[in-house]
A and B are shown apart, each in its own frame.
Chain A
Amino acid sequence: MPGRWYATPRSGAQRIWAESRMAGNGGWQCPDLAMAGGPEEVRVAPARLAHMWNYFREPTPAPAPRRLAQVRLGEPADAGLRNAIMGVAAATVRGLERPGLVGRLAGFIDHAVAHGLLGGEGDLDTFIGRHNLQKHAYIAQELGIRIGYEFEFLKNGAYSPAMAVDTYKRDRAPRYAEALDPDPGATRTLVRIARGRGTEWLQVATFAVRDRAVSGALERFLADRHRHMRYDRRLVREVFAEVGSCMGAGGGGAR
């Protein structure tokens, strides 16, 4: 029936599957044949799956043929479908990956409490406790205790958004202290650098640890007034000297 395809609203998934056939065949123009099977169908299946994956992964759909009526009919349903599928996919990925990471974080927290870096888990109920933990974790990672987070540098030192989120989930995570497996030498250095230190000390220490292999890092840090907060110059000198003596100015350190 001529024009039937344009007049019949299809569900989002049906339309995308039909379009994916066109993508797999390199420009097929008749989506009504999408239901046909055969060896050709098998050959283009991977390309069709890739097309579908890209469709759901990207915020904007793959370029569609110029069928305005169809696009108008399909769009709202597609957005809902895409969001639903991405939500399920994200939850699945979280379910698979996050517990291990959160578990290692929980293990690190136990480790930090055992070595006196934190007064107890109760410290983490306060903002400053969680803030200090971020700095401890960054220094620990740089010393080779692999927890698994990526850090960025704010004006007040190292910070990991993912770790900040996971800190709230630690109660629900299983303990993987054995998976953390910290090297005793690294732990000793971490304790020497971080135990009993104030928040600003730890903030500066993350900068010092990051720049330990850079020559003239201290002078540059003191001269730079925009990329970090204003710290007491004496404190900065003290922190850089301590970190340098613990980890080695050449960048070798305890690693």
Chain B
Amino acid sequence: MSRAPRDAPMRQGAAANMAAALGATLAMAFAAHLLVGATALDIVIAAPPFAFVVYVSLAQMDAQGAKKAEDRKEIETLGGVLGQCERALALLAKAAGAAPASPQARAGMGHLAGTIRLLATRYGRYIENNGVWAALEAESLVMTAEILGRDVGDRVGPLRDYVGVVGENVLDEDDPRLAAVRLEP
């Protein structure tokens, strides 16, 4: 059984764009002939650049759509990472309540620090400034508790707030700031 090449959807998309560009060019030629009496020579001269412009525009729209879909997927994953932070915080509160300096509490902090770092670094572009600042502060709060052996129980409340602030500041996939980033070459 032969497998389809990995770039098959891309090729299909390009072929569809070419067909659409050809269709639009024929329509333009027909309309120009009817409306302004364009001759065959006029159409032969004008059609190739017109078809090229239509093709490039369609390809650009496809690329934007693909980037937007990727952003949507990343934002969904970001929601999952935030959920993981909340779960870690709940477990951390339980572990810290039992024994503040226990290995479980330390392991929980390590896990939380890593997850928050992921938020600030990988998903920073999907979070507004306030959220990024909250993630930086949360990371510092966990790191100092972990390294300096501070009481975890005290920090669960502020950390929960920080994670909440990050969650509130996640951008929507249609946000103009994300759209502007997508337009960058």
Residue ranges of A at the interface with B (Cβ–Cβ < 8 Å): 59, 79-80, 82-84, 86-87, 90, 94, 127-128, 131, 152, 154-156, 159, 161-162, 164-165, 167-168
Contact = CB atoms under 8 A, between A and B. Distances in A.
A167 B141 CA distance: 13
A59 B137 CA distance: 27
Interface string B139-158: 01100110000110011011
Contact of B151 (A90, A131, A155, A156): A90
Interface of B: 99-102, 130, 132-134, 136-137, 140-141, 144-145, 150-151, 154-155, 157-158, 161-162, 165
Contact of A83 (B101, B134, B144, B165): B101
Contacts, number: 58
B141 A156 contact: no
A155 B136 contact: yes
B99 A156 contact: no
A84 B99 contact: yes
Contacts of B158: 164-165, 167-168
B102 A83 contact: yes
B72 to A, nearest CB: 26
B99 A154 contact: no
For the complex of A and B, 5 pairs with smallest distance between CB atoms:
A83-B99, A127-B165, A161-B144, A161-B141, A154-B136
A82 B100 CA distance: 11
A127 B154 contact: no
B130 A128 contact: yes
Q: Main secondary structure on chain A at its contact with chain B?
A: helix
A165 B157 CA distance: 8
A165 B154 contact: yes
Given A94-B151, A127-B134, A131-B133, A86 B100 contact: yes
Nearest to A167: B158
B100 A156 contact: no
Given A83-B101, A87-B100, A131 B137 contact: yes
B99 A168 contact: no
A159 B134 CA distance: 11
Given A86-B101, A155-B136, A168 B151 contact: no
Contacts of A84: 99
B165 to A, nearest CB: 4
User: Most chain-B CB neighbours within 10 Å: which of A84, A94, A154?
Assistant: A154
A87 B99 contact: yes
Contacts of A94: 151, 154
A167 B154 CA distance: 11
A156 B102 contact: no
Contacts of A165: 141, 154-155, 158
16 contacts: A79-B102, A80-B99, A83-B99, A83-B100, A86-B101, A87-B99, A90-B100, A90-B151, A94-B154, A127-B130, A127-B161, A128-B130, A154-B136, A156-B133, A161-B155, A167-B158
A235 to B, nearest CB: 14
Contacts of A156: 132-133, 136
